[in-house]
Structure 1
C-alpha cells in the first residue's frame, strides 16, 4: 500500500498564516499538520509515502527528506493545482500495480479508523454530522457506498465524506476526470468510478478535523497538545510552577515566577518569563519568547514570535517572527457574548467560538499598548501605532 498525501495547496482560507508557508506545514503541537497525516499512514502500515507538493514545496521536502520514520518518501509536483483528482494524477507515475490510499495533508484523522480503512479497502472515510447539507454525503446500502452527493438539500445519510480513500490499483487509470462546475477535477468523481466498478466500504472515523481556517488550527492544537506526555527537558526555574500536562523541550527555558498550566508545549529555543502565565492548549514555538508578566492563553505562537512584557494574548494565532510590543492586549470576547466572527476570503464568517482573538501573519509588529479587537486579522508585515485601538482588519 502506498499513501498519497496532498500537500500542494497554499490555503487561502487560512491567510495570512500561509503567506510564507503551505497550510499543511503550519504547526500542530511538535510537528506540521501534514506530519500528523504521515504518522497516521505510517502507523497503518504503508510501504511508501508519495507527497504531492506545489506552493512553497521546498518546505515540505526539507521536512520529510527521502524517508520518514523508516518509510521511503517520493514527491510529485502539482503545477496548476486544479483540484484533488489533478493532485493525485500528479502522483500517478509513483504508484505501482497495488491499491493506494489518498489523504489530505491538512486533515487530522483517527488513527485506528485509518488502519481499519486500509485493511478493508476499497473504502472511503466518513464522519457522522448533525447537519450534512454542507458536506459531500455518502449514500449507503448493505454496508457499502452506492454514491456520493454534494451538499444535498435532503441528505441520504448523516455520513459526511472525510476526504480519505483507499482505491484499487486500476483507479490509477481513472484520474483524468472532467472539470466540475467550479472548474476543478474532483477526487469524488474518481470515487464514483470506483463505486461503479467495485465494492466500496464506508469506514466511520470517531474523530476528524479539516484544518482549513485559523480557528481550526487552534482546535487541532487543542487535540494534539492534549495527547503529549509531560516532560521537562529544558531549563525550568525552581521558582516556576508547572501544573498538568506540560512539555518543555531541551533548549527551552522557563524563568522564575512563571506558571504553566497544561496542556502547554514550550519548544526548543523558546523562553518564557519571568513571572509569565501560560495556560490552556498553548504552543510556544521554536525560538519564540514570552516576556515578563505576560499571559498567554489557548494560543499558538509560531517560530520566532515574541510577546513583549505586560501583554495579554488569548485564543489567538501569531505567525512567524511576530513581535507584539509591551502592553499589547488582545480582546477575545464580544460584549454581546455571540460567537466571534473572522474574515475568510473577504467575508466575515462565524468561528463558532465564544472566545477568539487575533490572527497575525508573519512579521506583524504592534506598538506598545496596542489594543486588538476580537476576530482581527493582521496581514503579513502589518504594524500598529503605540496606544492604537485596532478594530478592523489590517
Structure 2
C-alpha cells in the first residue's frame, strides 16, 4: 500500500480566530493536544509511514511541536513563503515525495476512511486521481460531487442546501505525474483549477467511503471536536 501522505497545514483559520488566536488552524487545541496530532494518529493507524507537511502561517509552531517524527511516522516540511493555494501546495510538496503515488489530506479535517479501500478502487479503475467521498444529509457547507456507476466523477456542484448527497471527504490518492499535464502557476486551487478543469482529460474518480467525519473550519464543529475526539 502507498505509505506516504501530504498534509495541507498552512491554513490561517480565519473563521476560528474567535476561539483560536495566533495559531495555524491544524494546531487548534482539542482535549489538550493539537488537532493535527489526531490526524497523525489516524494516518499511522492506516499504515502511513511518512508525511510531508505543507506549512505557512506560523509554520514554526508546527515544526517546533512535532519535529521530524511523530511516533512511527517520519515528518518532512515544505514552507509556503506566501499562500500557494491547495494546488500549489500539493505540487510543491510532491517534489519531496519519492513515490509516484501518494495520499493528500487536509490538516483541519478528519475523515476516518479506509485508505486501503480507496487505493484498491484507484488501482482497479486505473485512475489518475481518487477522491474520498462522504455521504451527508441536510448540508449547505459543502459542494455536491456526482459520480457514475464506474466511480468516475461527472460533476462538482456549487455549495447549496442539499437534503442528501456525496461531498468531497478531503482525502485524495493521486499520481505525481498529473502535474505534467500542463504548466501550472505557482499559486492555484487544486479543486477549481485542477480537478474541475481537467475532469474530462484525466480519469478522476470518487469513492464513497464510511467513517467518522469532522472539519474544524467553523467554531461549532471545533467545539464538537472537543466532545467527540478521543486522545490515544
TM tier, shorter chain? 0.7 to 0.9
Partner of 1:96: 98
Partner of 1:186: 189
Partner of 2:223: 218
Point out which structure has higher relative CO (alpha carbons under 8 A, 6+ apart): 2
Describe the shift of the 1:81–1:148 C-alpha distance in structure 2 as closer, same or farther (beyond 3 A). farther
CA contact (8 A) 2:134 2:168 kept: yes
- Structure-2 separation of matches of 1:21 and 1:93: 27
The one-character-per-residue Cα deviations of 1:93-147 (angstroms, maximum 9, x if unpaired) are: 212242111100001221x434422443342112222245542221111141323
- Structure-2 separation of matches of 1:160 and 1:130: 10
Return the index of the structure with the highest Cα Rg. Answer: 1
Say whether residues 1:49 and 2:51 are aligned partners: yes
Describe the shift of the 1:190–1:142 C-alpha distance in structure 2 as closer, same or farther (beyond 3 A). same
Describe the shift of the 1:141–1:154 C-alpha distance in structure 2 as closer, same or farther (beyond 3 A). farther
Partner of 1:28: 30
**Comparing both structures, which one devotes a greater share of its residues to helix?**
2
The one-character-per-residue Cα deviations of 1:305-346 (angstroms, maximum 9, x if unpaired) are: xxxxxxxxxxxxxxxxxxxxxxxxxxxxxxxxxxxxxxxxxx
- Structure-2 separation of matches of 1:175 and 1:207: 36
CA contact (8 A) 1:127 1:205 kept: yes
State the superposition RMSD in angstroms. 2.7
- Structure-1 separation of matches of 2:188 and 2:154: 18
- Structure-2 separation of matches of 1:147 and 1:173: 22
Describe the shift of the 1:153–1:108 C-alpha distance in structure 2 as closer, same or farther (beyond 3 A). closer
Calculate the TM-score normalised by the size of structure 2. Answer: 0.82
CA contact (8 A) 1:109 1:208 kept: yes
The one-character-per-residue Cα deviations of 1:13-49 (angstroms, maximum 9, x if unpaired) are: 1013443211100112242111211222222222310
- Structure-1 separation of matches of 2:212 and 2:181: 30
What is the DSSP-based 3-state SS (H/G/I as helix, E as strand, rest coil) of the residue aligned with 1:74?
strand
- Structure-1 separation of matches of 2:26 and 2:159: 29
Describe the shift of the 1:71–1:147 C-alpha distance in structure 2 as closer, same or farther (beyond 3 A). same
Describe the shift of the 1:228–1:77 C-alpha distance in structure 2 as closer, same or farther (beyond 3 A). closer
- Structure-2 separation of matches of 1:7 and 1:174: 26
Partner of 2:118: 117
Q: Could you tell me which runs of 5 or more consecutive residues in structure 2 were left unpaired when the two chains were aligned.
A: 123-128
Following TM superposition, the consecutive aligned residue runs of length 4 or more in structure 1 with deviations greater than 4 angstroms are: 152-155, 174-179
Describe the shift of the 1:125–1:15 C-alpha distance in structure 2 as closer, same or farther (beyond 3 A). same
